[in-house]
């Protein structure tokens, strides 16, 4: 029996910590959704995270080669929209459903890599994609309402953002990529909240919420959410540094277990057998695709 190297074990541990912190981020976002919209939750998540990451940047200045500013901006904008749809699904459904929808990202990443980057889609990978979409159909209950569209959009937009990151690695420090995302995640929600003061839209309900002044425990949840998200990002980055991407991506599915456990603690209704089956198919699909990295 081949034992894992110390670096690989450390990478797995870091990813488990990151998954736990990301699940906590969802918990605090869920608690905040009772008093503010998903746009404002996105704003506070990134505002606190920006301050935390900023401290790390001051300690160790960023050095970039540069050369792809449009792609960098694109990653920040798409990542922010993905976060808006993600927090919307958190507010509208159980934590387990929201995170499973988000975990469709590897399925769309495989398709985008095939369509945009010219990477080969092998037969077993194609089968995994088909299994994943079957899981999406079951998770949505064979319906396509607004909530389900937002959930699927979360996975698709996350995949688009991830695909763009792959083309930025050779040009920018990873902290620059994270900062571009967080800066966009502060500026875009601010603009959207200002627009929401003058107009509403059922179609863009996930993106148009007026600003609500946080009160009482809201400030505690905001601080904890931002800190958990920032450190989750840090530990996830460390995990990919120590272990292979396929291993880390597989371990990242532990966030589904953490989110489900926390959701039950918050009073989420237990999922139906059909929803559970759909979630399992999506996870299996994602793991199979992740193992090809």
**Could you report the average pLDDT of every consecutive run of 10 residues in the chain (293 residues)?**
69 92 95 94 92 81 76 88 95 92 88 77 85 89 84 90 73 78 93 93 88 94 92 82 77 91 89 87 86 61
pLDDT of residue 1: 42
pLDDT of 293: 54
pTM of the model: 0.89
Tell me whether residue 104 is in a domain. Answer: yes
- Does residue 2 form part of some domain? no
DSSP 8-state secondary structure symbol assigned to residue 253: T
Q: 284 is in which domain, residue-wise?
A: 8-290
Taking the C-alpha atoms of residue 265 and residue 280, their distance in angstroms, rounded to an integer, is 21
Predicted confidence at residue 2, as pLDDT, reads 53
Compute CA distances 281 → 89, 118, 233, 251, 264, whole Å. Answer: 20, 26, 26, 16, 21
Do 209 and 37 meet the contact criterion of CB atoms below 8 Å apart? Answer: yes
Do the domain assignments include residue 149? yes
Number of alpha helices (DSSP H) and beta strands (DSSP E) in the chain: 12, 0
- C-alpha span between 184 and 77 (Å, rounded): 6
In a domain, 144, yes or no: yes
Closest CA to 235 of 21, 61, 50: 21
What is the C-alpha to C-alpha distance for residues 289 and 227, in angstroms, rounded to an integer?
Answer: 30
Residue-level pLDDT at 19 = 94
Residue 259 within any structural domain of the chain: yes
> For residue 11, what pLDDT is reported?
85
Q: Considering the domain boundaries, does residue 127 fall inside one?
A: yes
- How many domains does the structure of the chain reveal? 1
- Classify residue 3: in a domain, yes or no: no
Could you tell me if residue 1 is inside a domain?
no
């Amino acid at each position: 029996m081949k034992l894992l190297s110390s670096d690989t074990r450390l990478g797995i541990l870091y990813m488990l910590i990151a998954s736990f912190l990301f699940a906590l981020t969802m918990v605090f976002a869920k608690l905040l959704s009772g008093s503010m919209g998903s746009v404002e939750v996105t704003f506070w998540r990134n505002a606190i995270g920006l301050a935390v990451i900023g401290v790390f940047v001051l300690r160790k200045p960023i050095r970039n080669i540069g050369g792809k500013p449009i792609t960098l901006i694109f990653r920040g904008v798409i990542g922010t929209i993905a976060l808006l749809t993600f927090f919307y699904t958190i507010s509208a459904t159980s934590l387990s459903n929201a995170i499973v929808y988000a975990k469709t990202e590897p399925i769309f990443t495989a398709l985008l890599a095939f369509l945009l980057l010219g990477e080969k889609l092998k037969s077993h990978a194609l089968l995994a994609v088909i299994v994943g979409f079957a899981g999406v159909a079951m998770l949505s209950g064979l319906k396509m309402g607004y909530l389900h569209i937002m959930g699927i959009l979360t996975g698709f937009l996350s995949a688009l953002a991830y695909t763009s990151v792959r083309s930025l690695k050779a040009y920018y420090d990873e902290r620059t990529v994270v900062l571009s995302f967080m800066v966009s995640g502060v500026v875009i929600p601010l603009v959207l909240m200002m627009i929401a003061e003058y107009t509403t839209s059922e179609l863009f309900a996930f993106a148009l919420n007026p600003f609500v002044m946080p009160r009482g425990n809201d400030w505690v949840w905001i601080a904890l959410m931002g800190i958990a998200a920032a450190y989750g990002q840090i530990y996830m980055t460390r995990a990919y540094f120590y272990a292979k991407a396929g291993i880390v991506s597989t371990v990242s599915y532990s966030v589904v277990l953490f989110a489900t456990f926390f959701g039950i603690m918050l009073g989420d209704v237990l999922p139906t057998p059909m929803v559970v089956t759909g979630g399992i198919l999506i996870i299996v699909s994602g793991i199979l695709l992740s193992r090809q990295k």
